Structure 1
Amino acid sequence: MIPRSISLAIILSILLQCARSSTLDDMTLMLSNMPEDGRLQFPELANKYGYKCDTYNVTTDDRYILTLYNIPGDTRRPVYLQHGFEDSADTFLLRTNTSLVAFLVEHGYDVWLGNMRGNKYSRAHESLLPDDLQFWEFSVHEAGTYDLPAMIDFVLKHTGQKQLQAIGHSEGTTVFFVMGAQRPEYNDKVKLVICLSPVAYLHHSSPPLFPLISLVGGPAASAALSVAAHGDLLKNSSVAVDLIKVACTQKLLSYEVCAEGVFFTAVGRDSEQFEPEFLPIAIGHYPCGSSVKTGAHFLQIAARKKFAQYDYGLAQNKLKYGSLEPPLYDLSKVKMKIALVVGKADTLTAPKDLQLLRKQLPDVVNYHVMDWEKWNHFDMVWGKYMYVFLFNHIHEMLTKYYV
């Protein structure tokens, strides 16, 4: 195993070499190592594996235009899937016929997949452009307050149902907690949300987060970083992300550097479920864009040890919130039924943090720890053996709480 510091040095070296010498044709040639499934967009992936895919645009109350996908099934049983940070709807289909989408379609569910503002599928607004800094003035708060309600309303209107069931991963669970607290009327529109590697508290996250917490955990540093990065974090079409794809799809050392040296250090080590052949497929779809402010918000949550709204600093907080500190999200208002699914080796969502979350949510109907000892944060959506260890539990929960 290559130490993380050496892995990052190797990646940096590759990136610098590519940046110095690459023309557009050179970049295309270097990306030729990426398999087809790493290049296809969601509708193309769905069609390749035999699924009909409908695409819809959903406009939020604050005028962002989001892309929502539907793989049709029994409209009496809509299931909504929400991806995590820097991710997209793609994540639920990357394992093709052993993915969560395939499993749900096989069991007749009407499958809906949302894309939060800022990712590669949801970079539009009625009046703002992605080049405008104001476009990126959002965090997990806006995603939970505006994006999720808009997509839920669209699904319910389209299917003619009063409620739906949902499955979220990572930030895709955080937005449900935010929505339940900030828009409590939406608790009645969700029968059950299955939370895969849920994120609300980050008190005990693994050491790789600590340097970032100390650098960006404060409001001043967060604001400075947002301006310096023009608000946009690792968009899918950027040169930086293309270079990362090149570095992580080479035949020599890519798996040791990118998977073992970086991914596993951040989310937990499980080489059996994240095998070398899968790395270039995953890296073709991840990361795919979000806002710097969203990343900073999570770092603030970790640094302040509070599940609270964005911290703008004392003066701005007073103007925006009427208080010197940002308000806490009131989890007692999150009345929807919730199932929590956790991995023993997940170094991002620590057991102590999940126990705290469990105690504060009013209606946790199930708390499930994965049997696989090495189950990590990304195994919930990318794991090679999800269909063996995870999907039957999901189906059991969906069936049990279907009304």
Structure 2
Amino acid sequence: MATPIVIANTVVTLLLTLMVLNHFQLVEYDPIELAVNEFQKRVYYSQIDGSVMAPPETFMTVPEIIQSRGYPLEIHHVVTEDGYILELHRIPKSMNEPANTTENIKKKVVFLQHGIFATDFVWASGPTNGSLAYILADHGYDVWMGNSRGNTYSRKHKTINPDSEKFWDFTWEELGQYDLPASIDYILKTTGQEKVSYVGYSLGCAIFFVGANLKPDLNDKIDVMIGLAPTSTVQVLNNVFKLIAPLSNPLRYVLRWTRTGLFLPSDGISSRLLRFICNSSQIGSATCQTFNFYVFGYSETTNTSLVHVLCGHYPAGGSPKTMLQFFDNYNSGGNFTRFDYGETENMERYGTVEAPKYHMELVTAPVYLIWSTTDPVSTPQDIEWLATRLGNLKGSVKVDAPVFSHGDFFMSTQVSKLVYQPLLKMLPPPF
């Protein structure tokens, strides 16, 4: 037992050090500017031995990536009920469609929601025939991609400065109660549609379940919800977070002591260091692949070039409480609960000593689950728990592969065949 404890303490120490460093690294995103300027490229992405060439999309914003593929792009901004300004990216049609196609035909809307500390890069940075955003657009859908508050693209508020702690005081609760309803309502108003199809990945599924609990009318605006590697209880973990999660209470105290707001941004010191290592040499590239496996799980089909792109975009920043809630669910022993503020504040907020549980039977929108037996984050045990409690489960589909990791849902060379093609059959027709 000594070795795992030493490893866990070492990981947590490093994590806390990086959090303190990242606390002072806040750079506001401007979609007009390049993600990384030439000076930063020279300083942080010099190749030590000349053997590694990071893909250009490592240094590009998501809008730049989409436009570089030849797809039309719209950037929309949504204001939530509590004042956060979210950036949505829309691909209204395929690159091959005539300019006036969308004027006369109402296409079916598909909304894509990323996971924890990510952005919509997960839908748009793979090969064109292997990225869900482009596949959907090529099949005739109107594609909208969300960005949760606090990430690279949604780091603004009507009145609160992102440099303040108050800006970062949010949990899964706010992502589901405010961000999703605001985004969905905006899309419905803009497109004139009555319902949208929802595809979530990892935490993008959990916050949908939260939204369906706290804003029940959200269910009525969704014709189908498809959960890719869905998280909820996180009762079983088989990656490095299994060692860190039991130490969530010390983490909580350190976060308060350091007054940490912004957590693991892509423009922080730790993220830049990781990108430098990844792009420095063959050894550095292999190191990042190992890091990828520790976090997302072992894979036999990972697109190795996407590991570099991953390091260029992930983690994208967020609230420390979103990670703590992830750990709380694991430590609760199989519950899917609201954020635990401690006995005193729980009584003030919820009227109970313990944080209340979310109720899956309140998720009445039609739901499909797509999952893998070797996913270390969204494990078969969690899928079984979820599938037996959802209020309107239409299907639970296991990925037809002996090895398929959590990251493979957007980084595998086989993801189109194994996940996206089956997903298309679950969606309503595009017209």
TM-score, scaled to structure 2: 0.84
For the Cα contact (< 8 Å) 1:65–1:124, is it kept in 2? yes
Q: Distance in 1 between matches of 2:67 and 2:212?
A: 34
Amino acid in structure 2 at the alignment position of 1:287 = P
Are residue 121 (structure 1) and residue 156 (structure 2) matched? no
The change in CA–CA distance for 1:37 and 1:207 in structure 2 (over 3 A counts) is: closer
1:324 to 347, 353, 378: 353
Q: Distance in 2 between matches of 1:344 and 1:253?
A: 30
Mapping for residues 9-28 of structure 1, pairs under 5 Å: 28=42
Tell me the secondary structure at the aligned position of residue 76 of structure 1: coil
Tell me the secondary structure at the aligned position of residue 134 of structure 2: helix
By how many angstroms is 1:76 displaced? 3.0
1:309 to 326, 338, 346: 338
By how many angstroms is 1:263 displaced? 1.8
1:156 to 188, 202, 220: 188
The CA deviation string for residues 234-269 of structure 1, in whole angstroms up to 9 with x for no partner, is 112212211111122222312332212x22123221
For the Cα contact (< 8 Å) 1:206–1:266, is it kept in 2? no
Mapping for residues 252-331 of structure 1, pairs under 5 Å: 252-260=282-290, 262-275=291-304, 277-305=305-333, 306-331=335-360
- Runs of 4+ in structure 1 over 4 Å off: 24-27
Mapping for residues 34-45 of structure 1, pairs under 5 Å: 34-45=54-65
Mapping for residues 383-402 of structure 1, pairs under 5 Å: 383-399=412-428
Are residue 49 (structure 1) and residue 69 (structure 2) matched? yes
Residue identity (%): 29
Tell me the secondary structure at the aligned position of residue 390 of structure 1: helix
Tell me the secondary structure at the aligned position of residue 282 of structure 2: coil
Q: Distance in 2 between matches of 1:32 and 1:399?
A: 47
2:43 to 17, 26, 29: 29
The CA deviation string for residues 320-343 of structure 1, in whole angstroms up to 9 with x for no partner, is 111101111111111001110001
Aligned twin of 1:240: 270
CA RMSD between the two structures: 2.4
Aligned twin of 2:252: 222
For the Cα contact (< 8 Å) 1:268–1:374, is it kept in 2? no
By how many angstroms is 1:138 displaced? 0.3
For the Cα contact (< 8 Å) 1:94–1:382, is it kept in 2? no
The change in CA–CA distance for 1:227 and 1:235 in structure 2 (over 3 A counts) is: farther
Q: Which stretch of structure 1 is more off in the superposition, 34-43 or 202-211?
A: 202-211
Amino acid in structure 2 at the alignment position of 1:96 = P
Tell me the secondary structure at the aligned position of residue 44 of structure 1: helix
For the Cα contact (< 8 Å) 1:96–1:102, is it kept in 2? no
Show structure 1 runs of 5+ residues with no match: none
Q: Distance in 1 between matches of 2:428 and 2:183?
A: 23
The change in CA–CA distance for 1:79 and 1:25 in structure 2 (over 3 A counts) is: closer
For the Cα contact (< 8 Å) 1:226–1:293, is it kept in 2? no
Aligned twin of 1:338: 367
For the Cα contact (< 8 Å) 1:268–1:346, is it kept in 2? yes
By how many angstroms is 1:26 displaced? 7.9
Tell me the secondary structure at the aligned position of residue 231 of structure 1: coil
Q: Distance in 2 between matches of 1:184 and 1:321?
A: 18
Q: Which stretch of structure 1 is more off in the superposition, 32-41 or 348-357?
A: 32-41
Amino acid in structure 2 at the alignment position of 1:293 = K
Are residue 81 (structure 1) and residue 112 (structure 2) matched? yes
By how many angstroms is 1:211 displaced? 2.6
The CA deviation string for residues 47-75 of structure 1, in whole angstroms up to 9 with x for no partner, is 10001110011000000000011111364
Q: Distance in 2 between matches of 1:235 and 1:331?
A: 32
For the Cα contact (< 8 Å) 1:66–1:116, is it kept in 2? yes
For the Cα contact (< 8 Å) 1:229–1:292, is it kept in 2? no
Are residue 372 (structure 1) and residue 372 (structure 2) matched? no
TM-score, scaled to structure 1: 0.90
1:198 to 211, 226, 230: 230
Show structure 2 runs of 5+ residues with no match: 22-37, 48-53, 94-101
The CA deviation string for residues 150-181 of structure 1, in whole angstroms up to 9 with x for no partner, is 00001111110110001110011111100111
